[in-house]
Amino acid sequence: MKIDTILSKYEPKSENLIQILHDIQDHTEGNYLKEEDLEKVADYLKIPKSRVNGVVEFYSMFSKKPRGKYVIRLCKSPPCFVKGAFNMLDELKSQLEIDVNETTKDGLFTIETTSCLGVCDEAPVMSINNKIYGKLDSAKIKKIIENYRKGKSEI
């Protein structure tokens, strides 16, 4: 989707900034925000580019670097940590043969870590794009990854 098409869906008000950034990122191949698009957003909302950049840098779900089609974000906050999040991170790294903040060669997966995703009673938790997966264990992670590789996001 073209950036102008995305912008036209929103009123040019600064409170729409985060929503617009999500929309652009979701519709950009490589799942990221390009400098030229951030400039257009700033012009459209009539706010300084530094403010747009500040928001992009503040929220870890935004990226200015290309990422995989599926961005896996594993929660590393204390409730998930005590329930074995770090073992789950090792599981993801070995399944995908990449490290944190890297993307698989096929361009499918990027691993990131994040703070609390808001569903601590499901710990350990990860999200893939906008979908949450809780009560993770090695077998569940394996199954989830397999399904995404086959183009299915459900488990």
Binding site for [2Fe-2S] cluster: what residues are annotated? 75, 80, 116, 120
80 binds ligand FES (CB under 6 A): yes
Alpha-carbon distances of 34 from 53, 70, 106, 129, rounded to whole Å: 11, 18, 21, 18
- Edge-to-edge strand list for the sheet holding 126-128: 109-114, 70-75, 126-128, 131-133
In the region spanning residues 30 to 49, those forming contacts with ligand FES, defined by CB under 6 A, are none
Q: Which stretch binds ligand FES (CB under 6 A): 14-22, 36-44, 74-82, 103-111?
A: 74-82
Q: How far apart are CA 28 and CA 119, in angstroms?
A: 28
88 binds ligand FES (CB under 6 A): no
Strands 109-114 and 131-133: unpaired
Q: Among 116, 129, 138, 140, which residue sits at the site for ligand FES (rule: CB under 6 A)?
A: 116
Give residues in contact with ligand FES (CB under 6 A): 75, 77, 79-80, 116-117, 119-120, 123, 125
